[in-house]
Amino acid sequence: MAPAVTLTSRIAEQISTALTVHQAPATFVDQEQQHMQTVHLGVTANRSVVDVITEFARLAEIHHHDDSTVTLVELMVRLAATPCRPLYSRKVSPDRELAATFQVITT
């Protein structure tokens, strides 16, 4: 996410790229871009969220260390396939959860 100072100006494009890579319907990506015109950042006291973000940051460092040529998109795809404890009772990994969400909204 570095540099943090430019995160809010870059995040909509990065999220749109991630959604497109995960085969989101174009109308969904367009709607999300509209909703992301204004960015608000906040804090969380939810330890589960903090733990997941911390673990994904560690995994990103490991993947980058193993292959320093990995692109941000390739890294995102790898991380999205990682099992994630909050999703164990549903689709297990973020990419599967996202695919299931797309299936619900397009039917």
Sketch the domain layout of the chain as residue ranges: 4-105
pLDDT for residue 7 is more than 90:
no
**At 11, is the pLDDT very low, low, confident or very high (cuts 50, 70, 90)?**
confident
pLDDT digits (tens, 9 = 90+) for 22-80: 999 999 999 999 999 888 888 988 888 889 889 999 999 999 999 999 998 999 999 99
The predicted model scores a pTM of 0.77
In sequence order, which ranges of the chain are alpha helices (DSSP H)?
7-21, 26-35, 47-66, 72-80, 94-105
According to the model, what pLDDT value does residue 1 have? Answer: 62
